[in-house]
Amino acid sequence: MLLVTGRGGGTELTGTVFERGEEPPTYEGAPEEAAAYVWICDSFYQVESGGSALTVDGEEIRIAFEEPMPRGFDTRTQAVVAAKEHVRTQFARIGVDSADVVVEVAKRNPA
C-alpha cells in the first residue's frame, strides 16, 4: 500500500495505491478492478455555497466532493504518476498553483 500525499496552501490530501495482492475497498458504484495496482482518492472542487469548509492559504473556501472512482494500472510507476497528477489537479481546482504543491509517496503496511 502506497500513500500519496499532497501538501499546499496550508492543507493536504492523501490517496492510496493498493498494490498487487492487496484488496482495495469496495463500495456501491465502484467498478470491478482486476488491475495489479488500484488508485483511490477523493476528488473535490470549489463551490460558492454548501459543501464543506476548508482553509486554503489562510482563507476559508467551500468545497464539494465527488464520489471516488478507483483507477486500475498495470504497473506501480503508472499508478504513482497518475496519483501524483490527480493530487496536483485537486489542488489546482481550489486555486493552489501546482508548483506550490509538494507530493510525497510513502509505503504503508496494511494493519
- Determine the residue type at 18: F
Strands 2-8 and 102-107, by their bridges, are: antiparallel
pTM: 0.88
12-20 mean pLDDT: 92
100: which DSSP letter?
Answer: G
Q: What confidence tens digit (pLDDT) does each residue in 65-80 have?
A: 998 878 889 999 999 9
| pLDDT level of residue 34 (50, 70, 90 thresholds) | confident
d(CA 31, CA 58): 38
| pLDDT level of residue 28 (50, 70, 90 thresholds) | low
Please tell me the predicted confidence (pLDDT) of residue 67: 82
Place of cell 489537479: 89
Partnered with residue 15 across adjacent β-strands are 4
Q: What confidence tens digit (pLDDT) does each residue in 36-67 have?
A: 898 999 999 999 999 999 999 999 999 999 98
